[in-house]
Chains A and B, each alone.
Chain A
Amino acid sequence: MTDVLAVEGLTVRLTAHPDRSSILDDVSFSVAAGEVLGIVGESGSGKSMLALSVMGLLPPALTIRAGRIAVLGDELAGRSRQAWRAHRGRDMAMIFQEPMTSLNPVMRVGAQITEVLRWRGGLGRSEAWQRAFELLEQVEIPSPRSRLNAFPHELSGGMRQRVMIAIALAASPKLLIADEPSTALDVTVQAQILDLLRNLQRQSGLAMILITHDLGVIAEIADRVMVLYAGRVAETAPVRAIFNAPAHPYTQVLLGSIPDIDAPRSRLVTIPGTVPDALHMPPGCRFAPRCRFRQPRCEHAPPALRALSTDHKAACLYASGELAVPA
């Protein structure tokens, strides 16, 4: 399988304060065609900034300071806006949490979809309208013909997210990044959207990155998982390994802190303290101040992401066996 996206050593800092702590620090991962990579993290983990980095849409306050981002083998980090634009929309597309703020409120749904088809797909006017109709059918919008003439405010939240997905898929991208696509939706609508994304992804062999704070969503849809904590990769593994044998202490407490809907009730695990402030990250392991296994060595230098098995990696001195687990 070829990598649709390869990211290596990505480091993002505040443009105005390159000497301060990094917002993303030495992040490496790849996504292959036909694969769903779930990225989990709490607020402040940098998961949304990671998505914007890949799309070349970082706000001016943030700058990529190191690392590579390759889309379909084409190196993009450090290149011009035009270089990103050649890929954005065509090879890679993104959907966001709140469809109402990403759709143009004064443009009809059909016009917003055909815009992509005509500019990106080079279709003529009537071809584009026909294709837009098919796309709405594909994302299972009822009576698609009349919806083409609707404005976003005339649609429900779930319907709007379907329109966003239709726009994202319009140019047949190879990579789809979905940032909390179902978080703002009710649980029954969330289930519909997740099923739709999974089906579309399977049919077309898309590479998909799904960003979420919800481990349940990960369990439903991801093939592989990357856990981010405070801008660093804590752990990455196939989805079953994350749930069955989490190696990083953060992943372990994260799984224990969520009420399990399918198991008898037990007291929830808590993590003391809060996520560190982005500008004042601890110098060593960023989780160390909250970690119950913390040792002086953890606070000196950030632990490297080491392979525990072929496709399971963790950035923790315990997980990699460099420190003995205390009894």
Chain B
Amino acid sequence: MSETLLIEARGVRKHFPVRTTSFGPAPLVRAVDGVDLGIRKGETLGLVGESGCGKSTLGRLFLRLLEPTSGEILHKGIDLTSLRRKELRVQRRDLQIIFQDPFGSLNPRKTVGAIIAEAYAIHGLGTRAERVRWVAQTLDLVSLPREAAQRYPHEFSGGQRQRIGIARALALKPEFIVCDEAVSALDVSVQSQIINLMQDLQQELGLTYLFISHNLAVVRHISTRIAVMYLGRIVELANADALFARPVHPYTRALLSAVPVSHPDLPRHRHILRGDVPSATAVPTGCRFAPRCAFAEPRCRETDPALATLDDGRAVACIRAADGTLPD
């Protein structure tokens, strides 16, 4: 795998204002709060974290489906955030997204063929006959029958609808696909079909994935590298196997230890976390995980840790990991 970055977030922030009240200035939800993350060509980067950590917001920022509050998104050396509408549209042909809910993300009044061909219409590509042929080829890719083009989304099962969602994303032959909880709504027997399909397509078409999920077993299975997010920040970034073999950041440790074991005979080592995730409107000062961290020292509440690369190549945002004082 080459080390070239296909797409990169630099210092990206996204703050949402909360509804203004008569009690003073509107608080800001700091959904994504200073993220640097490069995705390498051909890899699957897994992005994990709990609800509200900002992982879906970050995924949308990569495609500029949301305007960042600050920061840059670089795709092949071009900053997406600086582009005008028309220029962005050209760039977007390479960048696609698959959503979680195969029921809510497909227009029920359009045939599957029209849903897939919409991309060609928007970009003014091909003649009518060419578009029909391209739709058929795209359906082949996701192993749906070509007749599916004449039918409507409700005629398909959940797994088949997710195939339609994938087909729509593939219509323009993109390089990069954000998969936002793309298999989370599916039953396990169907989920495995879709995971295998996504892996086959990646091989065949040389795709790069940003795979966002709360399901850690699925993320480990599909990812090359994994980024762990907590309260709008990346707290650890490592190769998938290294992360699971030895999670370093205290939050990663707690997160991985909470995953149910895969066999009743396996030992359980729980690091139960205290309390709940703080609100993204009231981010703690210093390290944002410090209030719940078993290893926190007074200095952790003062210094906001940067993501620092350790000897084994992983990056961790923890001052105790950086200076080697974090216990195992």
Chain A residues within 8 Å of B, Cβ to Cβ: 42-43, 142, 156, 158-159, 186-192, 194-195, 213-217, 219-220, 222, 239-240, 243, 253-254, 257-263, 265, 267-271, 274-275
Complex CA gap A158/B262 in Å reads 23
**One of B11-19, B26-34, B113-121, B184-192 at the interface:** B184-192
**Contact between A261 and B259, CB atoms less than 8 A apart:** yes
For B192, what are the chain A residues with a Cβ–Cβ distance below 8 Å? 257-258, 268-271
With contacts A269-B192, A274-B157 known, is A187 near B221, CB below 8 A? no
Check if B25 is an interface residue, CB within 8 A of chain A: no
Interface presence of B298 (CB below 8 A) = no
Cα A222 to Cα B261 in complex, Å, equals 12
B216 CB contacts on chain A under 8 angstroms: 187, 261
Determine whether the beta carbon of B193 is less than 8 Å from that of A275: no
Measured between beta carbons, the chain A residues less than 8 angstroms from B268 are: 220
Asked if residues B217 and A240 are in contact (CB atoms below 8 Å), the reply is no
Contact yes or no, B188 A213, CB < 8 A? yes
Q: Is A42's CB under 8 angstroms from B187's CB? A: yes
Stretch touching chain A among B168-176, B270-278, B301-309? B270-278
Q: How far is the CA of A250 from the CA of B216 in the complex (A)?
A: 24
**Of B195, B199, B264, which contacts A243 at CB under 8 A?**
B264
Contacts of A42 in B (CB 8 A): 187-189
Which residues of B lie under 8 Å from residue A258 when comparing CB positions? 188, 192, 217, 262
Please count how many residues in chain B sit with their CB below 8 Å of the partner chain's CB atoms. 41
In the assembled complex, how far is the CB of residue B185 from the closest CB belonging to chain A, in whole angstroms? 10
Contact assessment for A260 and B187 in the assembled complex, using a CB-CB cutoff below 8 Å = no
Task: Find out whether the CB atom of B221 lies under 8 angstroms from the CB atom of A254.
Answer: no
State whether the Cβ of B152 lies closer than 8 Å to any Cβ in chain A. no
Nearest A residue to B199 via CB reads A267
A residues in contact with B132, CB < 8 Å: none
Q: A195-B270, A270-B193 are in contact. Are A262 and B261 (CB under 8 A)?
A: yes
Q: Which of B157, B187, B193, B260 contacts A213 (CB 8 A)?
A: B187
Contacts of A253 in B (CB 8 A): 189
Residues B157 and A216 in contact, CB atoms below 8 Å apart: no
Let me know if B254 is at the binding interface, CB within 8 A: yes
**A254 contacts across to B, CB distance below 8 A:** 188-189
Contacts of B265 in A (CB 8 A): 240, 243
Q: List 6 A-B contacts (CB under 8 A).
A: A159-B276, A187-B50, A220-B264, A262-B263, A268-B221, A274-B159
CB distance from A216 to the nearest CB of B (A): 3
Tell yes or no: B134 within 8 A of A by CB: no
Is the pair A192, B217 in contact by a Cβ cutoff of 8 Å?
no
CA distance A220 to B260 in the complex (A): 6
Q: A267-B196, A268-B221 are in contact. List 10 more A-B contacts (CB 8 A).
A: A188-B272, A190-B258, A191-B257, A215-B188, A259-B221, A261-B217, A261-B262, A269-B192, A270-B192, A274-B159
Instruction: Tell me which residues from 225 to 257 in chain B have a Cβ below 8 Å from any Cβ of chain A.
Output: 244, 254-255, 257
B129 located at the interface, meaning its Cβ lies under 8 Å from any Cβ of chain A in the complex: no
> CB of B136 within 8 A of chain A?
no
Q: Looking at the complex, which one of B187, B218, B261, B275 makes contact with A275 (CB distance below 8 Å)?
A: B187
CA distance A285 to B136 in the complex (A): 36
Q: Which residue of B lies closest to A267 (CB)?
A: B196
A191 to B259, CA, bound (A): 7
Complex contact A43–B187 (CB within 8 A): yes
